[in-house]
Homo-oligomer: A and B are copies of this chain.
C-alpha cells in the first residue's frame, strides 16, 4: 500500500523539528543506491519554490535519472531567494553524501508556509539517522507517507498491482489543489521498465488526466511536484530482454490509476470540505472545451456554496457554463444531479424534487452537463466551500 510496494525501493522518515510535532522529513531511495529513470512534473507557478528549481535542474543534468527523493514538511522554502536555493541544494548534498550517490541524483520536495527561511541546520542534522534507517527495521513507506503530511488528516497511499509490474505512490495535499497541481506532492514508483523520455510522457499524460482535473480552491501552489521513478526490476514494460526502450504504453494504466486514486484521496481530505463533487461536461465542441467548462463550474465560489448548503440550484451551474468562454447555446443545455435531469433545453425540467434533495444531502455529488453541441467530454473533481475551509485558511497561526 505504499511507495515501496514496487520492487527496488526503500523509504524511511524522521524528525527535524520543522513542523510542531511528528516526523517532517521523508526519504525515498532505490534499493541499490543507483540512479533509475525518473520523471517529474512541477508547478507552473513562476514563483516556483527553491526545491522545484533545484529538482528541475538536477533532473535536467542527469537526463532524467535519480537515486533518491528527500521530502520535508512544515516549511515550503518558497519566496526565500538565493538562500532558499542554496538550502535546497545543501539538503540534497547531505542526502547524497550519506547514500554515496551524486548530489544531482537527489531530488527534493518541500511543503508548508511560504516566505520563511528554511531551517537547514536542523534538517541536515537529522539526515544521517534517516538515511541510516533505509532498508532496516524502521524502513517503511508508510512512515514516509506520514512524514509529508501538513494539514492532511489521512495518509495518502495507493498501489496498482499489475500482472507483470507494480506501481505505488504516496501524496500529500489538502488545499491549493487547482488547475496546475497546486500544493501537492506525490511520489510514485514502479518496477516496470521504461526509458526516461517515455516515462516523462507517461507521467505528463497521467497527471493531466488526474491531478490537473482536481480543484479545491483554484490556487496554484509554488511547490507542486509529482515524481515517478522506475526501477525496472520487474522487467515488465520493456522489451523481452527486460531492458529499457518501450514507450511507456504498458505502464500507463497503472500510473494513471495510482495518480487518480491519490487525487481522489486529496479531494476527500480537502481542507474544511464537507463534500466531494464531480462535474462532467458532455456534448462540448471538443475535449478542451468540455474541460474549460467543467473547470469553470468546479472553481465557482457560488456553485461550491450551493453544494455546501445541499441546494440543487442549477441556475448557478448554467451561469458558469455560459461564462466559460467556450461555444454554448443555453437553449440546448441539460443539467443533472446524480443522474436526475433538473434542467432540459435550458429551462427547468419537471423532476422528483424530494429525490434530488435527498441526493444533495449526501457526501459525493455528481453533476452532469450536456451542452449538446459536439462530442467533447471531460470532468473535474472538486469540493464544497464552507465555514471549515475559511477557518482553516484565515490565519496561519
Interface string of A293-334 (1 = CB under 8 A from B): 000000111100110111101111011111100001111010
Q: Are B319 and A45 in contact (CB under 8 A)?
A: yes
CA distance A330 to B116 in the complex (A): 15
Given the contacts A81-B347, A328-B47, A394-B311, A305 and B389 also touching, CB distance less than 8 Å:
yes
Q: Are B114 and A301 in contact (CB under 8 A)?
A: no
Q: Are B222 and A322 in contact (CB under 8 A)?
A: yes
Chain A contributes a number of interface residues (CB within 8 A of B) equal to 68
So how many copies of this chain end up in the complex?
Answer: 2
In the complex, chain B residues whose CB is within 8 Å of the CB of A306? 393-396
Q: Are A309 and B394 in contact (CB under 8 A)?
A: yes
Task: Let me know if A345 is at the binding interface, CB within 8 A.
Answer: yes
Task: Let me know if A48 is at the binding interface, CB within 8 A.
Answer: yes
Task: Let me know if A219 is at the binding interface, CB within 8 A.
Answer: yes
Chain A binding surface SS class: loop
Query: Can you give 27 contacting A-B residue pairs, CB < 8 Å?
Result: A43-B323, A46-B323, A47-B318, A47-B333, A78-B318, A79-B346, A81-B331, A83-B347, A114-B318, A114-B319, A115-B313, A115-B315, A115-B348, A175-B302, A219-B316, A222-B315, A301-B389, A305-B394, A306-B395, A306-B396, A309-B393, A309-B394, A311-B394, A311-B395, A313-B395, A385-B390, A387-B387
Q: Are A319 and B218 in contact (CB under 8 A)?
A: no
CA distance A82 to B330 in the complex (A): 11
In the complex, chain B residues whose CB is within 8 Å of the CB of A347? 79-81, 83-84, 115
Closest 4 CB pairs of A and B: A114-B315, A47-B322, A309-B394, A309-B395
Task: Let me know if A176 is at the binding interface, CB within 8 A.
Answer: yes
Interface string of A45-67 (1 = CB under 8 A from B): 11110000000000000000000
Selected contact of A319 from candidates B80, B219, B322, B328, CB within 8 Å:
B219
